[in-house]
Amino acid sequence: MFLHVTNVFYLKDYQLRLESNDEKVKDLDLSDELHGEIFEPLKDIELFKKVYVNLDTGTIEWPNGADFAPEFLYDIGQEVRKSA
């Protein structure tokens, strides 16, 4: 099965809650991952909050085109619960 992010919720600071197609819900903190030309602008919290799920790629993305591989997000996330 290919892993896809199905929903994203902004929590606080640089923390997100993700739901994936395996029905798991994970919280993650991206504060240590915002390096490089594409990710530096995300340090602006107002831009970071504009995160959304790109249904074509199955991962989270921001208006500036920054994204992370769903497998990476899954690996660094802490499972909260299974989604309903």
pLDDT score for 80: 94
| CATH number of the domain encompassing residue 15 | 3.30.2020.10
Work out whether strand 15-20 and strand 78-82 pair parallel, antiparallel, or are unpaired.
Answer: unpaired
Q: Are 5 and 73 in contact (CB under 8 A)?
A: yes
State residue 74 phi and psi, 5-degree precision. Answer: -60, -45
Number of structural domains the chain divides into = 1
Q: Could you tell me the residue range of the domain that residue 72 belongs to?
A: 5-82
| pLDDT by residue, tens only, the chain of 84 residues | 689 999 999 999 999 999 999 999 999 999 999 999 999 999 999 999 999 999 999 999 999 999 999 999 999 999 997 655
Phi, psi of 49 (to 5 degrees): -65, -15
Q: How many other CB atoms are there within 10 angstroms of residue 57's CB atom? A: 13
